[in-house]
Amino acid sequence: MREFKIYISGPITGHHDFNARKFLDAEDQIWVYQKQLGVPEGRDIVYLNPIRNDGGETYEEIVQRCRDAKESGKAWLDYMRGDVKMIADADMVVTLSGWHNSRGAKVEVELALGLGLPVMYLPYFTGEEVDI
């Protein structure tokens, strides 16, 4: 079965937990609303989630890794370079609430639109309060 890759875009910088909970919850929400989001039937969803290092990390491990990276001085641009590669490999971008207040997420959405990828706003489907 062919994969359908979805990049999750949203604010990370400035959130106490790097918004990790919201990014992790988005994977479950995308699964529930995949038909409404326009995921082609019969395709296996692959999440391109910038908050994850691999699929086996817990929430606590993700937050600690992000704290360690921040303390080590890893630059914002270094993160964005990896994100750009994931977006170029995606079939769709799904945004989280607050994306429009995030410098990185705005770059990601503009790149996705420039590449001709569909961009979907997850809160419209989940019933979360819409903030745009």
Q: Are 23 and 51 in contact (CB under 8 A)?
A: yes
H or E element, residue 72: helix 59-72
- Coil, helix or strand at residue 66: helix
H or E element, residue 28: helix 20-32
Which pLDDT belongs to residue 114? 98
Q: Are 8 and 50 in contact (CB under 8 A)?
A: yes
What are the tens digits of pLDDT across the range 10-56? 999 888 899 999 999 999 999 999 999 999 999 999 999 999 866 67
Residue 131 falls inside a structural domain: no
Residue 19 falls inside a structural domain: yes
Q: Give the predicted TM-score (pTM) of the model.
A: 0.91
Residue 57 falls inside a structural domain: yes
Q: What CATH number is attached to the domain comprising 48?
A: 3.40.50.10400
- Which are the contacts of 93, defined by CB distance < 8 A and separation ≥ 6? 6, 7, 8, 9, 87, 108, 109, 112, 117, 118, 119, 120
- At 132, the pLDDT band (50, 70, 90 cuts) reads low
Residue 74 falls inside a structural domain: yes
Q: What's the farthest any 2 CA atoms get from each other in the chain?
A: 43
State the first-to-last Cα distance of the chain, in angstroms, to the nearest integer.
36
Domain that holds residue 58: 3-126
Number of domains in the chain: 1
Residue 38 falls inside a structural domain: yes
Residue 112 falls inside a structural domain: yes
- At 70, the pLDDT band (50, 70, 90 cuts) reads confident
Residue 40 falls inside a structural domain: yes
Q: Cα–Cα distance between 31 and 16 in angstroms, integer?
A: 26
Instruction: Say if strands 119-121 and 92-95 run parallel, antiparallel, or are unpaired.
Output: parallel
